[in-house]
Amino acid sequence: MKKASIDLKNKAIRLRKKGLSYREIKKEVSISKSSLSLWLKDIPLKEKHRKRLYTKQIHSLSLGSRSQKERRLKEIEEIIKISKNEIVFPISKETHRLFGAALYWGEGTKDRGLEITNSDPYLILFMVNWFKDIFKINPNTLKVNLNIYSQQNENDLKRFWSDLCKIPLENFGKSFIKPANKSYKKNNLYYGTIKIRVPKSTDLRIKVFGWIQKILESINPEIEKVQKRWGHLKKVKRSVNIRTDALIA
């Protein structure tokens, strides 16, 4: 063994006898953990050093999940920061129009006029402004209904949404109040769920889906090809609900 290696080994042994862990020794001695294990396997630890390392290990284990969570949160913050920088304002009117159409495709009503239901204040205010910017629909013409829990204050929630969206309180119709439920809710809908309708807007809804269909034209051939190949899936008979009381009778 070379003199440099002998010196490293002797230093590692001295540190081990002082009660340092392998991780702590590696900070002082630039050598692999496998080499340390070979050099130090026969070096006994005093009882007080064993207790210190055991306590430190337990502490590290208790902090493990928390430190991992904090590290992940920092990673998420960095991803969001980078992605935000990829968006340049002001966005074009065309981008704004299609972004709103995509949101409506996911969250809007498909079989009536323009109507959207959600609990997210950001999404709702964006769509109220979108109706105004794209279709010149003033918020004071919108009709509203809330879906809330029995323990929530209906009047306060109406005032919240009215304040946010600038929709007059008199435009709020009857709220649907869910009966009390003992089950635990993972997601708290602090503001309830709001449904916003644009009166006499069937043609506008059709217009929005015309924009969406245009965007999707590029994938139409692929969709039609696969649907044709799997056409038998549409031939399944619709299920029939059978009343149990009728069977008993």
Domain residue ranges of the chain, discontinuous segments joined by +: 3-81, 93-224
- Nearest Cα neighbor of 105 from 243, 242, 216, 229 is 216
Q: How many residues does the chain have?
A: 249
Residue 122, phi-psi category: left (phi > 0), alpha (psi -120 to 50), beta (remainder)? alpha
pLDDT tens per residue across all 249 residues of the chain: 566 688 888 888 888 888 888 888 888 888 888 888 888 888 888 888 777 777 777 766 656 666 778 888 889 999 999 999 999 999 999 999 999 999 999 999 998 899 999 999 999 999 999 999 999 999 999 999 999 998 899 999 999 999 999 999 999 999 999 887 666 555 578 899 999 999 999 999 999 999 999 999 999 999 999 999 999 988 887 766 655 554 444
Look up tokens 């323009």; give the residue.
114
| Cα–Cα distance for residue pair 148/186, rounded to 1 Å | 16
Q: Is the C-alpha dihedral spanning 63, 69, 75, 78 positive or negative?
A: negative
Supply 80's token pair.
């969001």
- Nearest Cα neighbor of 20 from 36, 7, 1, 2 is 36
pTM of the model: 0.67
